[in-house]
Amino acid sequence: MEEKNCERLFEYLRDILYSPDACPLDVETLDPPYQKLGKGLRFLDKAVREMKEYSAELSKGNLSVTLPGKDNFLCQNLKNMHTNLNHMTWQAKQVARGDYSQSVSYLGEFSDAFNKMTAQLKEREMRLKEEAQKEKAHASMMEGYSQLLMELICRSEEQILVVGVEDGQVFYCNTKDANEDPKTNEIFKLCLEMTKKEGVLEQIQEEAEKVWETEDSLHRIFKVTTGLMHWQGELAYVHIIREATEERTREKRLEVEAYHDPLTGIRNRTYFEEQMEKLLERKEKMVFCYCDLDHLKYVNDRYGHLEGDRYIRRFVETVKSCVRENDLFARVGGDEFCIILRKCPKEMAERKMKRIQREFKETLGIPYPQSFSCGLVEISGKNRPQTLDEIIQDADCAMYDQKRNHKEEYEKQLNYSASEWIVNHTHEMH
CA distances in angstroms from 333 to 26, 179, 337, listed in the order given: 58, 60, 7
In order of 47, 168, 200, 208, 213, the CA distances from 172 in angstroms are 89, 11, 21, 20, 21
Question: What confidence score (pLDDT) does residue 143 get?
Answer: 52
Name, in order, each residue with C-beta under 8 angstroms of 425's C-beta and a sequence gap of 6 or more. Answer: 70, 71
- Burial environment of residue 91 by CB neighbours within 10 A (0 to 12, 13 to 18, 19 or more): buried
Give residue 263's pLDDT.
Answer: 94
Task: Write the burial class of residue 37 (CB in 10 Å: 0-12 exposed, 13-18 middle, 19+ buried).
Answer: middle
The CA distance from 169 to 188, in Å, is 12
Averaged pLDDT in 10-residue chunks for the chain of 430 residues: 77 76 74 78 78 82 83 79 80 80 77 82 83 77 50 65 84 69 77 82 82 84 87 86 81 79 94 93 93 94 94 96 94 95 94 95 87 94 79 94 87 55 38
Q: What is the pLDDT of residue 311?
A: 96
Number of residues assigned to the chain: 430
Answer yes or no: are the C-beta atoms of 94 and 100 closer than 8 Å: no
Distance CA 9, CA 21 (A): 16
Write down the pLDDT at residue 99.
81
pTM of the model: 0.45
Our separate counts of H helices and E strands in the chain read: 13, 9
What pLDDT score does 417 carry?
Answer: 32
Farthest-apart Cα atoms in the chain, separation: 128
CA distance 311 to 352: 21
**CA–CA distance, 148 with 150 (Å, rounded to integer):** 5
Residue 172 phi/psi, 5-degree rounding, is -155, 145
Helices 305-320 & 346-361, crossing angle to 10 degrees? 140
